[in-house]
Amino acid sequence: MNTSTKGIAFLERHEGVVLKAYRDPVGIWTIGPGLTAASGVITPKSGMTITLDQSRALTATALSRNYEPAVAKAMPGANQHEMDGGVSFHWNTGAITKASWVARWRDKDWPGMRSKIMLWVKGGGRVLPGLTRRRAEECNLIRYGVYEGDPGLNPARGLAKVVLPVQPREIEEIRAAFSKLGYEPGSDTRGVEKSAVIVFQSDHDLTADGIIGKATLSTLQRRIDASAKTVTAAAVTATATGSAAGVQTDVLGDVISSLPAVEWTSTGVGILGALRLAWLAYSYRDAIAAKIQTRMPGLATFLRSF
């Protein structure tokens, strides 16, 4: 059995469909409705774009190759809406073969199924509202065949459209994140000013359409994570700093001051310093890109491409 058209629409509503490659919150290049290199159908990379038709073709291939067979095996005898719900869960978690709710489904233990599927709501060790909502909707889809869920908030004039389902509390968190990064969200607490979103997207090599989707939210999360890193002052010599990749000392001086401390005592301080700086630059590329965005936007974009 294949995923139905409504099932694919359900999946896309929760995943979002992004036609330009972006890095997810943990740095994995992603495109379309959450397709990564692990999908086996495409290897997203910096600057890659696809059309909507290509996205749907890739999704169909990934479903038939990697997801539908596993769900069909785990849920024998499933009807269409049960199959669609199982596919959405497996696409998101990759865990249909070990999820304990599947056994409850086989036994038609509906309360048990709901309690077990609602265990899969954490990301990064904490409960995420988006996953909580998704699991609840998947449960309703499997049990009752309900495909429609919360469509999210309709934006007021001048506010950016949010294409993923969100609740008012999540809007507050999104506004706070934009504000923390220096992008004024505006006075209307129902959303974020479209103009601020466009500037943020332009600064981070995203499609500058003023729409808050998965790529924008993932990049926003990565920026917040980068700014939250606690680092100590570095003791890198001016020689080492100035020689790294031909970058001027006065440009990266404030960046280096936020990186871990390093002591240099050998006569090869210049070479070792350059190597050390290169490694630190890669490890802290998001933090560095944020620091130099205004003065060196080209270099900032280059650092984010890895």
| CA distances, 64 to each of 41, 84, 145, 262 (Å) | 11, 13, 22, 51
pLDDT of residue 169: 84
Question: How do residues 110-169 score in pLDDT, each as one tens digit?
Answer: 999 999 999 999 877 888 888 898 999 999 999 999 887 644 444 556 888 888 777 788
Cβ contacts of 193 within 8 Å, gap of 6 or more: 158, 159, 160, 184, 185, 186
pLDDT of residue 247: 40
> 3-state DSSP call for residue 19?
strand
Please state, rounded to an integer, the average pLDDT across all residues of the chain: 80
pLDDT of residue 246: 40
Cα separation of 205 and 300, whole Å? 10
Type of residue found at 287? A
With a cut of 90, say whether residue 65 has pLDDT above it.
yes
Helices marked H in the chain: 5-15, 52-62, 68-74, 80-93, 101-106, 110-117, 129-144, 168-180, 194-203, 214-227, 238-243, 249-256, 269-283, 285-292, 297-304
Question: How do residues 22-45 score in pLDDT, each as one tens digit?
Answer: 998 778 899 999 999 988 999 999
pLDDT of residue 214: 86
Instruction: Specify whether domain 5-144 bears CATH 1.20.1050.90.
Output: no
Cα separation of 220 and 23, whole Å? 11
With a cut of 80, say whether residue 6 has pLDDT above it.
yes
Would you say 285 and 306 are in contact if contact means Cβ atoms under 8 Å apart?
yes
Question: How do residues 231-252 score in pLDDT, each as one tens digit?
Answer: 333 434 333 444 444 444 334 3
Question: How do residues 73-123 score in pLDDT, each as one tens digit?
Answer: 999 999 999 999 999 999 999 999 999 999 999 999 999 999 999 999 987
Burial class of residue 298, CB neighbours in 10 A (0-12, 13-18, 19+): exposed
For the chain, the domains span: 5-144, 161-217, 238-304
